[in-house]
Amino acid sequence: MAVALSPAATSLRLKSFTAVRFFSFYRKTPKTHLTPAFHFPLKPSTSNSTPFLPLHYCRTRSFCSVISAAVSSGEATKTETFEKNELQKGERVGEFRKRLRIVDIKGGPDEGLNRLDETLVVRGWVRTFRAQSSIIFIEVNDGSCLSNLQCVMSSDAEGYDQIESGLISTGASLLVQGVLVKSQGSKQKVELKVEKLILVARVRNALAYATHKFFQENGFVWVSSPIITASDCEGAGEQFCVTTLIPSSRETTDSPVAAIPRTEDGSVDWSQDFFGKPAFLTVSGQLNGETYATALSDVYTFGPTFRAENSNTSRHLAEFWLNAKTDSSISKMIEPELAFADLDDDMACATAYLQYVVQYILENCKEDMDFFNTWIEKGIISRLSDVVEKSFVQLTYTDAIDLLLKAKKKFEFPVKWGCDLQSEHERYITEVAFGGCPVIIRDYPKEIKAFYMRENDDEKTVAAMDMLVPRVGELIGGSQREERLEHLEKRLDGLKLNKESYWWYLDLRRYGSVPHAGFGLGFERLVQFATGIDNIRDAIPFPRAPGSAEF
């Protein structure tokens, strides 16, 4: 890796055998898919006959391949001599080379003018970031001097997609390769015309980037869903109320309850509230995602959700980022919706997504993963590799219950048909019964699932699925959505949910719906799964949980 640490204008003449070893980082992965298979094309198809390829064959170019490509294309100007039989005797230790620093570029009397037209590689942190039309100006500092190096990036530069996805901001760690040119500005004499930009990713950041990358490469449109809502997606009533009827934060300590306006019968007078009716923090953006999907086909959301579930465990938060449906309290979540899709398509998409993001961190966060493997969970790399390489297993909820009833293990929570599977049941299935293989349970009893899930022909179960993985249990939850108006109205009535609050959702069916499906994944639980940490509250810098809202 001495090549990667030096200016790009300096490279090595490599023998054929050396090139083979250099590319040996790329590992061929066997095909892994569900039955029936459902794969996403790596590029938009122009013909119905174009075959689908397994998504995990898509590879992100590592910096090793960038450097090796430069060598093979003839960019090398400096050569080094190796003994004829050197590689047969053993590999030499790479030459140590001082890393190029910004002070080396701008610190001389010419302030960099003596290096014009050189191709350089700079590593540092973003100090400022601004966009002017399609041109991006990034001020990078590496700590070697007070002066920043201005990097100018156009839309045709490699890595511009990371700019578009919003991953580059103040403080981000970057590796930038480009040509040093005379600056057109008056504040500096030289600037770097960017050819390649690589975000030096850590695990949480890498998972977020890989999430956007997966869906964007497969034609999904990223959409925003409301954080404040008047409807309950899950129908469980575990929502945080949003109101201005209680005093502001400066007045909460000495505010009387009597100050809350009431109607003549003593109920809260919501008409005087900010929205004129009860409002809540969203537990899921799914219902809104379905609205987008009926116009854009395939969409996904990635944002914060909130659940007032009093679950004080190592697997729960109150605030979470939706990336997949989780029963945490506050976290971040990803929720894709696929139009013209059924449950089989949904399971295949969830499988491809998980394999993609896990493969991404294994390839791009090697140092971090080695750390977790040594200090947090021994064997985590092997466990994650199994997710990428092994075929996923699917079985019905009924079969899963039969399996648990026959297990020679006493569970804390009794098992019977109709019960909601607990973490101990889920982990037994994936870790013991199937030897560490990811397992998808499908066709759950409708009584334990949400109102929007499509009822199966047996009228007892719904087209729902949960993906179980070792050490965590449920990681992803999804379903085919109920597109039939009469079935949906009947389900809302059965659960005593106010149909007036869902008028817009019912209208999607009333005026022409299509079969569609989706899933959700709690981002913090994904981080927990990928790093091996025991407590989910260590997967987010400022966790929110029952009785805890510090910072």
pLDDT at 537 over 80: no
Which whole number is the average pLDDT over 256-260?
Answer: 76
3-state secondary structure of 364: helix
Written as six digits, the tokens of 94 are 């790479």
Q: How far apart are CA 245 and CA 228, in angstroms?
A: 16
Question: pLDDT, tens digit, for every residue of 339-369?
Answer: 999 999 999 999 999 999 999 999 988 878 9
Backbone torsion region of residue 400, taken as left when φ is above 0, otherwise alpha when ψ lies between -120 and 50, otherwise beta: alpha
* Per-residue model confidence (pLDDT) at position 329: 52
Rounded (5°) CA angle 236-237-241? 150
Question: pLDDT, tens digit, for every residue of 480-493?
Answer: 999 999 999 999 99
The per-residue pLDDT of the chain, averaged, comes to 78
Which whole number is the average pLDDT over 91-120?
Answer: 85
Q: How confident is the model at residue 64 (pLDDT cuts 50, 70, 90)?
A: very low
Among positive and negative, which fits the CA dihedral 377, 383, 388, 393? negative
Q: What residues does 298 pair with on adjacent strands?
A: 338
What is the DSSP secondary-structure string of 468-516? EETTTEEEEEEEEB---HHHHHHHHHHTT--GGGGHHHHHHHHTT---E
What is the DSSP secondary-structure string of 131-177? EETTEEEEEEE-SSSS--EEEEE-TTSBTHHHHHTT---TT-EEEEE
Residue 163 CB contacts under 8 Å (≥ 6 apart), including other chains: 136, 153, 197
The residue that leads in pLDDT, 488 or 259, is 488
pLDDT at 60 over 50: no
Question: pLDDT, tens digit, for every residue of 188-225?
Answer: 999 999 999 987 787 888 898 899 999 999 999 998 88
pLDDT at 31 over 70: no
Written as six digits, the tokens of 275 are 């929205």
pLDDT at 238 over 80: no
Q: How far apart are CA 117 and CA 197, in angstroms?
A: 18
- The 8 Å CB, 24+ separation contacts for 4-7 are 4/63, 4/64, 4/67, 4/121, 5/97, 5/99, 6/97, 6/99, 6/100, 6/121, 7/100, 7/118, 7/119, 7/120, 7/121
Q: How far apart are CA 526 and CA 475, in angstroms?
A: 7
Q: How many residues does the chain have?
A: 551
Question: pLDDT, tens digit, for every residue of 122-181?
Answer: 988 899 989 888 899 999 998 888 899 999 999 999 988 878 767 787 888 888 999 999
φ, ψ of residue 399 in degrees (nearest 5): -65, -35
For the chain, the helix, strand and coil percentages under 3-state DSSP, each to the nearest 5: 35, 20, 45
Q: What interhelical angle do 380-389 and 343-364 show, nearest 10?
A: 140
Contact criterion met (CB below 8 Å) for 34 and 76: no
pLDDT at 88 over 80: no
% of the chain with per-residue pLDDT over 70: 74
* Per-residue model confidence (pLDDT) at position 92: 62
pLDDT at 255 over 90: no
Q: What residues does 141 pair with on adjacent strands?
A: 125
Which whole number is the average pLDDT over 388-416?
Answer: 95
Written as six digits, the tokens of 290 are 């379905």
Which whole number is the average pLDDT over 237-248?
Answer: 76
pLDDT at 389 over 70: yes
* Per-residue model confidence (pLDDT) at position 195: 95
Q: How confident is the model at residue 382 (pLDDT cuts 50, 70, 90)?
A: very high
Which whole number is the average pLDDT over 404-410?
Answer: 94
pTM: 0.62
The residue that leads in pLDDT, 42 or 369, is 369
Residue 353 CB contacts under 8 Å (≥ 6 apart), including other chains: 211, 214, 215, 336
Q: How far apart are CA 269 and CA 155, in angstroms?
A: 53
At which residue do the structure tokens 């390839």 appear?
363
Q: How far apart are CA 42 and CA 410, in angstroms?
A: 46
Which whole number is the average pLDDT over 445-452?
Answer: 94
Q: How confident is the model at residue 29 (pLDDT cuts 50, 70, 90)?
A: very low
